[in-house]
Amino acid sequence: MNIEEIREYCLLKPHVTESMPFGDDTLVFKVADKMFLLANLEGPLQLNLKAAPDEVADRLQHYPEAIPAYHMNKIHWVSVKVEECNDIIRLKAWIDRSYELIVLGLPKKTKVEYGF
């Protein structure tokens, strides 16, 4: 996947917004104002994705494209070298899981407000 395909995939999800709060080299996708994916726009494409702690450990152990998350909590986030990931279905599943974890963690009031 390239950045445009990832962007289009993320924006299909309910209530997703994109922004560049960290400068022109990092694209951030949020749901209900909470980040679920960060993508660098310079150099080889890498994504930071949220994951459960056991999922982070599993990905780091079993998938060479997964590395400790850059500038994020390494217990709850993992970085993915997109060019090294040959399984688009798995990459999309990891994006879906990141989005899902953020939605699950939203306060009840926010879930009601956004219709989750």
- Which domains are present in the chain? 3-114 (3.90.1150.30)
Report the C-alpha gap between 57 and 103 in whole angstroms. 22
What distance in Å separates the CA atoms of residue 59 and residue 24, rounded to the nearest whole number?
Answer: 29
Q: What is the pLDDT along the chain (116 residues), one digit of tens a residue?
A: 999 999 999 999 999 999 999 999 999 999 999 999 999 999 999 999 999 999 999 999 999 999 999 889 999 999 999 999 999 999 999 999 999 999 999 999 999 999 99
Contact between residue 36 and residue 69 where contact means Cβ atoms under 8 Å apart = no
Quick one: angle between helices 3-11 and 88-104, nearest 10? 40
Predicted structure pTM score? 0.95
Which tokens go with 9? 């995939």
Assess contact for 42 and 36: CB atoms under 8 A. no
